[in-house]
Amino acid sequence: MRSSRSFQVLSMVYRERYREPTLELVVPTMLVSNVFLVAFYERFGFQLLGVVLAFVPLISVSETLAFSLGLRNLIFVTGEHLYDGSMISFLTYPLRRETLFFFIYISDVVLPLLMWVFTTLTYSMLSGVEVPSLLYLTFVAGYLFSENLVLLIILLFRSPGVSTLLSLFLLGGIFVFGGALNYYQLVQGDVTPLYLTSFLNPFVLWIAQSFGKDLTSEIVSGVVGELALTSLTFLISFLRFRVMEV
């Protein structure tokens, strides 16, 4: 009986975020928009650079859609429920808060990422374009770090408007400032500090690597740093949700 009620809540959470025609539009668009993988890759002498550029959000439609869908779910669905107090309706079910949190997290954050992984892997296999596994992991780490940071902001401020502005400011600042800092260090020729700062924007290091500079260990360090911060923000959000008054 409890499992059937849990499934009912999960179904409600899912349907609220993915009403028709959300999936019907997003998944095919993600799949088709990966044409950038081939378009960039086929430029002579720029194979790796092309693949890297095709993975950068705001350049690639697929990656941008994944980010946007996750942010939409977090800010304008979960955030709205917290703001107007309607979250209490989910808590009236005989369901542990921890379970509800994971249902929300899976629907808001994990599903858009799985859509991206599925469509990108499918297109990569169909097109024959080889994508380094570390590049996949770089995007996944950046996606989870960004979405978890937004989730924490929402749970702290419980306002869609404030959360939107603060999220854009923080994520934009991290991406732009981190990219500029990593670029400056590359220009200076001292790559040692990149072990500490590469997590701010690893794609700058990927672009440098595509021109022949071996920065694999620095990129791995950045990905590990992002995953560590992802775990930290996830844990804080989880603990905050458990004790939050609605």
Q: What is the pLDDT along the chain (246 residues), one digit of tens a residue?
A: 455 678 788 888 999 899 888 888 999 999 888 877 777 776 556 688 888 888 888 788 899 999 999 999 999 999 999 999 888 888 777 788 999 999 999 999 999 999 999 999 998 888 888 899 999 999 999 999 999 999 999 999 999 999 999 999 999 999 999 999 999 999 998 889 999 999 999 999 999 999 889 999 999 999 999 999 999 999 999 999 998 876
Radius of gyration of the chain (CA): 19
At 18, give phi and psi (nearest 5°): -130, 50
- DSSP string computed for 103-131: HHHIIIIIHHHHHHHHHHHHHHHHHT---
31 to each of 36, 115, 124, how far by Cα in Å?
Answer: 11, 9, 10
What are the residues facing 243 on neighbouring strands?
none
DSSP helix/strand/coil, 57: strand
Domain locations in the chain?
A: 2-243
What are the residues facing 57 on neighbouring strands?
60
C-alpha atoms less than 13 angstroms from C-alpha of 135 in its C-beta half-sphere: 25
